[in-house]
Structure 1
Amino acid sequence: MGELIVIRHGQTEWSLSGRHAGRTDVALTGAGEEAARALAPRLARRHLVAVLSSPLSRAMRTAALAGLSGAEPDPDLLEWDYGGYEGLTAEQIRETSPGWDLWRDGVVPGGADHPGEKLAQVAARTDAVLDRVRPLLRDGDVAVVAHGHLARVLTTRWLGLDASASRFLGHPHPGTLSFLGTEDGQPVISAWNVP
């Protein structure tokens, strides 16, 4: 049984400043590109049978720089649609919604480009990815290149937990790897947030 390798895209200006970048297509910084390239040697040692990526350029570029040519764009790997909170930091959101917590309170609707998603919708998308990935793991590793909050929900659902438990996982840093596997037939996190 292979491992599911979850790769968070490299650094962007918005990830650096803490802005919520859901569906906005923000480019990698120079440091983000460098971190993506640094992943290539570690990924080259793996027997990858499939590579899926969020279709946003920050994820597709990370895949390419990490040596994952031929990454298949998968819209189910898009980041959480933050609705009216798109582009804001948590501190800015809390100015109008004191005590706001993404996992508990969710997002407010935005415009046509950012209508917003409920946590259950994000979980349904990650469940669909896992349904497609699990059979492939019989033949080797599968890499997915995605986003911070999406990676947390994907991991929580891998473990068979309710998506709200995602709050207990630390936010993966840009340009890092996490490994999801099995132990004695049970899903586990083999490693988290590895540079």
Structure 2
Amino acid sequence: MGELILIRHGETEWSRSGQHAGRTDIPLTDAGVAAARALTPVLARRHLVAAFSSPLRRAMQTAELVGLPDVKPDPDLMEWDYGGYEGLTAEQIRETRPGWELWRDSVVPGDAGFPGEQLQQVAARTDAVLDRIQPLLRDGNVALVAHGHLQRVLTARWLGLDASAGRLFHHPGPGTLSALGTEHGRPVISSWNVL
């Protein structure tokens, strides 16, 4: 059984400032490009049978920079749609919603471009991804290039936990790698947030 290799896209201006970047298509910074390139030798040592990426530019560019072959864009790997909180920091949101926490309170609807998603909608997308890649893992490792909150939800679902358990995992840094595998037939986190 192969491992599921999770790659968070490289740094963007918004990941640097702490702004919620769900569906806004933001390019990588120079530091984001460098971090993605730094993962190339790590991924070169792993036999990959398939690679998928969020279709957003920051993820697709990261996939290209790390040298993933034949990457297929998958809209189910897009980040949580933050709705009316798109582009805001947690501190800005708490100015109008004291004590706000994404995992508990979710998001408010935005405009037509950012309608917002509830946690269970994000979980349904990650479950669909896991259903599609499970058969591929029998033949080797599968790489997914995606986003921080989505990776945390996906990890919770991999472990058989409720999606809200994603709050228990440290937010993956931009341009980092994590791996999900199995041990004695049970799903585990093999590594997390590795540079």
**Structure 1 residue aligned with 2:168:** 168
**Structure 2 residue aligned with 1:29:** 29
Which consecutive residues of structure 2, in runs of 5 or more, have no partner in the other structure? none
**Structure 2 residue aligned with 1:149:** 149
**Structure 1 residue aligned with 2:122:** 122
C-alpha distance in structure 1 between counterparts of 2:188 and 2:135, whole Å: 17
Which consecutive residues of structure 1, in runs of 5 or more, have no partner in the other structure? none
* Alignment of 1:107 onto 2:107: yes
* Alignment of 1:43 onto 2:43: yes
C-alpha distance in structure 1 between counterparts of 2:111 and 2:46, whole Å: 42
**Structure 2 residue aligned with 1:189:** 189
Alignment root-mean-square deviation, CA: 0.4
**Structure 2 residue aligned with 1:72:** 72
C-alpha distance in structure 2 between counterparts of 1:121 and 1:16, whole Å: 27
Q: TM-score, structure 2 length as denominator?
A: 0.99
C-alpha distance in structure 2 between counterparts of 1:130 and 1:79, whole Å: 16
1:69, distance to aligned residue in structure 2 (A): 2.9
* Aligned sequence identity (%): 76
C-alpha distance in structure 2 between counterparts of 1:122 and 1:75, whole Å: 11
**Structure 2 residue aligned with 1:60:** 60
* Alignment of 1:4 onto 2:4: yes
Amino acid at match of 2:178: S
C-alpha distance in structure 1 between counterparts of 2:70 and 2:136, whole Å: 16
**Structure 2 residue aligned with 1:81:** 81
Moved over 3 A (4+): none
Counterpart of 1:143 in 2: which secondary structure? strand
Counterpart of 2:39 in 1: which secondary structure? helix
1:18, distance to aligned residue in structure 2 (A): 0.1
**Structure 2 residue aligned with 1:133:** 133
1:52, distance to aligned residue in structure 2 (A): 0.3
Counterpart of 1:136 in 2: which secondary structure? helix
Q: TM-score, structure 1 length as denominator?
A: 0.99
